[in-house]
Amino acid sequence: MATLVANGGAESPGVNSEPSNDPLKAERQQLYDEDLLLACQQLPKVELHAHLNGSVRPQTIRQILEERSQAGEAIPVTEQQLKDITVGGDRSLADCFRLFDLIHAITTTHSAISRIAAEVVRDFAAERVVYLELRTTPKARLEHGMTKESYIEAVLDGIELGLRQTSSGSSQRQEQQQQQLQEERPTGQADGRPAAAQQPGAAAQCTTHSPTRDACAATPAGPSSPPGGSKGGGPAPAVESSASAAAVADRGAGTDTGAAAVEGGGCGAAHYDGADACGVLGSGPSSGGGGGGGGGGGGANILVKLLLSIDRREDAEAALETVRLAARYKARGVVGVDLSGNPYVGSWGAWAEALAEARAAGLGVTLHAGEVYSPDETAAMLRFRPDRLGHCCCLDPQLAVALRSSAIPLELCLTSNVLTQSVPSYPEHHFAELYAAGHPVVLCTDDSGVFGTTLSREYAIAAAAFKLPVSALQQLARKSVEYTFADEQEKRRLREIMDRAFSAS
């Protein structure tokens, strides 16, 4: 995820607490219309930078907390805050923080983790994402019976469940229902997401209270947090990078996933412009079957892979452990590793050896880079030549030149960067310059649930902010296939899906 700097660690003032006359919000709301969003929803797309826990539905957070409250468990929110979680409207930065806190609080059981993973897969499939790389930091919460291995397996179990559900046809029904909801309630909720997720620019109010557009001016200074703390390592627990918390050994997929978990392939249920997805994604080398987690699932309309994230707070030994876990779970669809977390914490030297081992093991490597101005580290990352980089918001001119000459594909997350004030506005996002220069870029969501966005929405924002025609969006999506960590056969199938869809449009 992008750097998210807290507002002095202040408590959430509550949802909808921001001023309604925010000029940035008004600007974002004018970015695109519903027709453009609809066109983007119909594009087959590739998502390469999505943190599992940041992609959780706010509705799910509320439901899990309610269930635990009813079971007599103490929960870390008041009744009113629980209601506010899924209230439509704008979400402040403090609200985003509270969501991350709550996600951390609910991911204490294997069933909750599996449920979240399954829902995330279905949500991306419903947005017509045909290839998804999720990333997550393996968490050991030993006081709750959770090891890093059991955490990973819970995630993979959830992904497999989500794939079975999409292949069963439930996704198609969900899409129809979602479409109906959108038509009936243009300003309301759909699929458990707040209205903010459905409206142009709505979630964007998170910027209002962020104190540090000057994130770029700050240089990582070892283990200390920046003033005001950071989501990744400040006072608030970091959802995708924390190693503290709890769990119960209640293995298995969640039972309340909101859609029937139907076993089997369900061929014919999911099609792309008349093409049977079963012949496209459902028979890949890592799909379907008992050991095929993280693959396409038998007939699933989305191919899903998993990356394991090294938290920047981890030392060399822990980073190596993450890499070896990733290698161990390759057969279940783990295809790479990521480096993420509080960019003010840690140093490149601690992880370089582990990342080199990942590369030697045939894993893809992607790094969160340039989230804050840290020229030495960013230069070292460029010299390492990872397969991909994320963000790169804070580069000086020399580093910008080095990045362009490297041709390393870049995962760009427009809303995330604007909300966290890593960039001042959508039109000023460095996407424009890189795209114009022909640098390989991929549009991604980062934390779609928390930031109230979708990949379709990010495409619509890009189209509007950078004046891209739909044909350019198609090319953007198609080129994204080349930067995936999928194998060649899978890439070929993805290209076929794109070509078939675009030729029909």
Please state the φ and ψ torsions of residue 122, each to the nearest 5 degrees.
Answer: -65, -40
Nearer to Zn ion, 90 or 446 (CB): 446
Beta strands in 254-333 (DSSP E): 271-272, 275-276, 303-311
CB atoms within 10 A of CB 41: 21
- Which CB sits closer to Zn ion, 1 or 5? 1
Give 95 or 446: the residue with its C-beta nearer to Zn ion.
446
**Token pair 């957070």: residue:** 61
Residue 279 to residue 388: CA distance in whole angstroms:
29
**Residue 441 or 464 with smaller CB distance to Zn ion:** 441
Alpha carbon dihedral 277, 279, 285, 287, in 10-degree steps, equals: 40
Give the helix/strand (H/E) hosting 442: strand 441-443
Rounded to a whole number of angstroms, the minimum distance from the CB of residue 486 to Zn ion is 20
Residue closer to Zn ion, measured from CB, 280 or 461: 461
User: What sections of 71-202 are H helices per DSSP?
Assistant: 79-84, 93-106, 110-126, 148-167, 170-184, 195-198
**Rounded-to-integer distance, Cα 369 and Cα 422, Å:** 12
Among residues 136 and 171, whose Cβ is nearest to Zn ion? 136
Shortest Cβ distance from residue 463 to Zn ion (Å)? 22
CA–CA separation, 492 and 495 (whole Å): 5
- Number of residues that this document lists for the chain: 505
Least Å distance, CB 54 to Zn ion, is 8
Shortest reach from residue 307's CB to Zn ion, in Å:
11
Alpha carbon of residue 443 to chain centroid: 11
- The CA distance from 268 to 167, in Å, is 9
Residue number with the shortest CB distance to Zn ion? 1
CA distance 483 to 375: 25
Catalytic entry in 175, 314, 371, 490: 371
Instruction: List contacts with Zn ion (CB under 5 A).
Output: 1, 446
Whichever of 153 and 446 has its CB closer to Zn ion, that residue is 446
Identify which of residues 123 and 338 has a Cβ nearer to Zn ion in the complex.
Answer: 338
Q: Rounded to an integer, what distance in angstroms lies between the CA atom of residue 24 and that of residue 208?
A: 9
Rg of the Cα trace of the chain? Answer: 21
Report how far Cα 35 is from the mean position of its chain's Cα atoms. 25
Nearest distance, CB of residue 303 and Zn ion, angstroms: 21
Which of 446, 458 has the CB closer to Zn ion? Answer: 446
Q: Shortest distance, CB of residue 31 to Zn ion, whole angstroms?
A: 22
458 catalytic? Reply is no
C-alpha to C-alpha distances, 145 to 109, 140, 250, 321, nearest whole angstrom: 9, 8, 9, 19
- Pick from 97, 95, 92, 96: nearest CA to 209: 92
- Cβ count within 10 A of residue 223: 13
C-alpha distances (whole Å) from 63 to each of 116, 164, 220, 275, 301 are: 12, 23, 38, 37, 27
Long-range contact list for 70-75, CB < 8 A, 24+ apart?
75/105
Provide the annotated active-site residues: 371
